[in-house]
Amino acid sequence: MRKEVATVPLIMLLALSLTSLGAVPIRAKVPIYVPANLPVTGTVCLPSALAAGLKAKLYVDNAFVDEGAADEIGCYKVTIKPLTPGRHELYAEIYKGGTKVAEISAEVIAIKGMITVRPDPLATLKRGETREVSLFIENRSPVNMSNVRVEIEAPFPIYAERMTRIRSFAVRGSIGDLEINGTKEIRMELAVPSNLRPGTYTLKINMTYEVGESTYSAPLSVSVIVSQEGGGTMTTRQQTTQATFTTTSSVESTTTPEIRAEPTPAWLFLLMVFVGALVVGLVLWMVTRSR
């Protein structure tokens, strides 16, 4: 996973069932795995009729992180700053009025390279080129991921096998389950416009998956390099357009009225000769008569 996407949050869901609220520490049995060096936005839910409107304070490694109020269904959101690789302690205090009514603690394990995308850069394309490429998503976490779905957004037209094209530049679809050390291949077709400025562009990948009954979302990315070499393709297209324009101008000029010398029909020539002879004969007759 690229460090450049560290500003995008990962959704963490910790569902706890409280039949009765009391200031008794509740320990989550399953560790929460998050990518290292990424901020984490979490939703802690207390599915109880008494949880709505409760206040909560969150601590990580005994340091205060965030606080908020639960919504009408008993969920409140917290934001954790990027964690270094390793084990961390998440601790939440739940308050009703000014009285602490519950304590929640869980182990958070931040993993470097938890979900990776390769190759990066994905490809080096020329301007005006369309090419098929393969993207590989790898699970390097110690948990199996199920119902994995991805949405890929590119800065130019994109297609992908067995995925829905939701916009010209975005595709979405399911890639199934991703077990520990498992890899999924996504075959795509990228179409780079001929007038795209050369440089490095980013394909944004939003991956959602399930671990047990919890749903997570991981923002990923991969780069694509567009080279200057494709300029020749664009020049060829410009020349073709110019040739078409010239041809069109030539056709238009033929429709403009012009005076042209066309060959005289035979019958018209004979008529002219006859009229000429008649005129000459008439002139000679008038001259002879005047004498």
pLDDT-based confidence at residue 152 (cuts at 50, 70, 90): very high
Residues 40 and 80: beta-carbon distance below 8 Å? yes
**Mean pLDDT within 100-106:** 84
Cα-based torsion angle of the residue sequence 139, 3, 41, 182 in order, rounded to the nearest 10 degrees: 0
The confidence score (pLDDT) of residue 22 equals 54
Kind of pairing between the strands at 214-227 and 199-211? antiparallel
Q: Which CATH number fits domain 3-111: 2.60.40.10, 2.40.160.40, 3.30.70.260, 3.10.110.10?
A: 2.60.40.10
Could you tell me the two tokens for 281?
Answer: 């004969």
The confidence score (pLDDT) of residue 151 equals 97
- In whole angstroms, give the CA distance from residue 152 to residue 150: 6
Domain 115-231 has CATH 2.60.40.10: yes
Instruction: Give which of 131, 157, 130, 127 is closest to 233, Cα–Cα.
Output: 127
Could you tell me the two tokens for 128?
Answer: 């005006």
- In whole angstroms, give the CA distance from residue 138 to residue 116: 5
**Mean pLDDT within 97-112:** 86
pLDDT-based confidence at residue 203 (cuts at 50, 70, 90): very high
Q: What is the pLDDT of residues 21-59, one digit of tens each?
A: 455 667 777 788 888 887 766 666 665 656 788 888 889
- In whole angstroms, give the CA distance from residue 248 to residue 227: 34
- In whole angstroms, give the CA distance from residue 68 to residue 81: 16
Statement: residue 7 has pLDDT above 50: no
- Shared fold status for 3-111 and 115-231: yes
Q: What is the pLDDT of residues 132-143, one digit of tens each?
A: 999 999 999 898
| 79 vs 188, higher pLDDT | 188
The confidence score (pLDDT) of residue 252 equals 29
Domain boundaries, the chain: 3-111, 115-231
Q: What is the pLDDT of residues 216-258, one digit of tens each?
A: 777 889 999 999 875 443 333 333 323 222 222 222 222 333 4
- Which position has the token pair 């995925």? 163
Statement: residue 19 has pLDDT above 70: no
Least confident of 6-10, 32-36, 278-282: 6-10
How long is the chain? 291
pTM: predicted TM-score of the whole model, two decimal places:
0.60
Kindly list the distances between the CA atom of residue 265 and the CA atoms of 268, 275, 276, in Å, as whole numbers in the listed order: 5, 16, 17
